[in-house]
Structures are given as C-alpha cells and as structure tokens.
Structure 1
Amino acid sequence: MLTFCVLVLATANYAFSSRVSDANAFVDTIFKEKGPPLVRESRQLYPYARIGDFSFKLHKDRFTRDLMVNMTHGKVRGLDDALQREGDCRAPFFRGGLSVIVCNLTMRGLNIAFTSLVTRDPQFTNWKNIWVSVDVTDSIVHLEAKAPVGEGYGEVRAFVIKDMQLDVTYDSNLSLNPGNSEKFKEEISAKVKEELRKIFTQYVSLVRQVFRSIRVR
C-alpha cells in the first residue's frame, strides 16, 4: 500500500465551496489537466525517469552457487498520468482560516523496466542477459490541500511516501527456486521503492508549479 501525504498550502482561479463536486473538480484539474503536460515537458521524468544501475548477490544454498545480479537501464514510465482521484473527495471545510480539501488518489500504470545481467560463474565470465519488469500494483495517496479564504498564493508543504506494493516479474530464462525467487524480488522491490522516492521529489516540484498556476478565490 503506497500512501503519500501531500500537505499543500495552495491558491489558485478556482472557487472553493463546501460541495464535494467542487473538491473533485479541483483535484481533477490538477492531476488530469494541468499536471500531465508539465511532466511531459520534463526530460528527467518523461518519456521515462531513470533508475541507476545497482547490483546484489543471492547467496548459495545446498543446491546452487551464489548468483550475482547486475540491474541496468532502469526506466520508469507512466509518471505523466500516474495519479488519479480515487472516489469522491471530502467536502471542503475550514480550519485555521484556511479552506481545506482532503482527497484520496491512486497510482496506476506506473512500470519500471530493467535489463539484468546474472551469473553463477565464480570467474564472472559467463553472464546471462534477462529482462525484469516492476509494476506498482496498489497505492493510496492522501492529498490535503489548503488555501487561504480569499486570494493568495501557496506551496507544497510535505510529500511523504510511506509504502507501496510492487509486482516483480522476470525472464523465464532465469531459473530460481521459490526461496531465491522471493529474495530476488525483495532486493529489486527495496531498491525501486528507494529510487521512486527520489523521483517523486522531482515530481513534487512540478506539483508546486501546478498549484501556483491555478487561482483560488
């Protein structure tokens, strides 16, 4: 389960009322209309963001030798329209002189593709080339947006990724027993989660621009 909390002090040309439909429309404007074009203009995020090469070892057991794994050419695709509203937002409410909307988002369509080199050869002379694919399968994004009552400008205050569920698949040319298969997937999942947090730091900078481009009155 991926949870990200976005605490936003935002202002924008948009009217906040107490209706759920207004909150829904505001969030859809951000993540369906305004956000995707900005991501597509970013060379760091589109058509893909990069994950740097990394390596790990699966240690030998009674039946197999150590497996050395080099993960290369990691490409994260789908960042432009990865975030969408999940169900209805809460009705906007007032707190501390600010208008607040709270909404759940979900992440869909995000894929990370790798080329991997693997070997059990202790001399490291015989490497096998395989593909590895990672999909974000389950995510909940908690969005909280705050806007001054009346006109003003705001900013993104926090963007925290707590967890995410990933589905790792790999080339049938790589034969692993169930235990090693699980360890293989765990190593890759841990690294992908770490790198996605870094990538979404760049994404947040674009979200800031979006919130500053829409005026709440």
Structure 2
Amino acid sequence: MTTLTYAPRAIPISFAFAFGSKRSLHLIERNMLAYRRMWLILLSGVFEPVFYLLSIGVGLGKLIPNVTGPSGTPVTYVEFVAPALLATAAMQGAVFDSTFNIFFKIKYGKNYEAILATPLGVGDIALGEIGWALMRGSLYVVTFLAVAASFGATRSWWTLLALPSAVLIGFAFAGLGMATTTFMRSWHPMLKSMLFL
C-alpha cells in the first residue's frame, strides 16, 4: 500500500471519493512535486491578473468616471472591472494548465503512457489533471481577490462568494481544454485558438 505525502494536505480526501478514485490524488501529488522546480511558472501566472488590474482598473480607471451600479450608486471603474478580471484569472489558470501542459505530456513527454502502466486509469488521470488545474486556477483567484481587496475593489464580505463561482468557471474551462487538447495533433491549432483568448 502506497502512502500519499502532499496530496492529502492540499485537498480533502472526500474530493477524491466523491468524484472518482482516490488514485487520482497521486497525479496531483506528482504535479505538486514537479512544480517545486517550476515555481516561477506558477508565480508568473499569479501576477498576470494582478497586472491587468493595475493597468486597466487603476491606470485606465483614472481616466474613466464612476459607473452607475445596479442600485443607482456610483461604482469606481476598478470595482466595475474586477469581477471580470477575477473570472479571467480562473479561466486562464485552468485553461493553460489543461491545454499546453497536457498536450506536452501526451505528445512529447509521454507521461501518460508511463502513468497508465501503473494502477491509475484514464479516469484517474482526467480527475487528477482537472483537480490540479482547479488548484492552480484557485491559487490565481485567491491572490487576485487579496490584491483587489487591497486596492478597494471589494466593498463587502459577500465578495468571498465569488470564490466558488470562480472555481466553477475554472472547472468548466479545464474540462473543455482537456477535451479539446486530446484531439490536437500539433501546436498550430492550439496557438491559433490562443490568439482569440
């Protein structure tokens, strides 16, 4: 019997039992161990939505007057654009991990051929990779919310309810990205589609 070292500390075991086999946690653990050496990639993904908030929300927000909110109260441009940037952070974190990384693992790294030689099945691989993409997207979202709160883009504690919806956005795009990546045969269709994001 194998023991898990990092995965139970990162996500609850009930996640694995609710959505599939516990073996998918091993793939999440593998990704966590791999990203110990590639932490700069994770860090750069965290800062991208923050830079968007600074440039569009704060920089461009100085030139744009207040926007009228749903109840007729004035809303600053930073508060107006922050929810869209939050959803974008969740989407980009999940999409990039479930497209480019998975394509490399399928086509060049041949990681899944080695993983399928273990007791893990195709469903375990899919759950593990989507779980990892959700964790990465959630990291981006939590960081973005903290920075948005520091700039005054949040007015109440109800903003924390944006976290589950952002994770749901990440789940939708991670599943879509993984499904379309399995049909790709080269980088060209993927790069063409990324021009439109």
Q: TM-score, normalised by structure 1?
A: 0.31
Higher share of residues assigned helix? 2
Higher share of residues assigned strand? 1
Structure whose CA Rg is larger? 1
Q: TM-score, normalised by structure 2?
A: 0.34
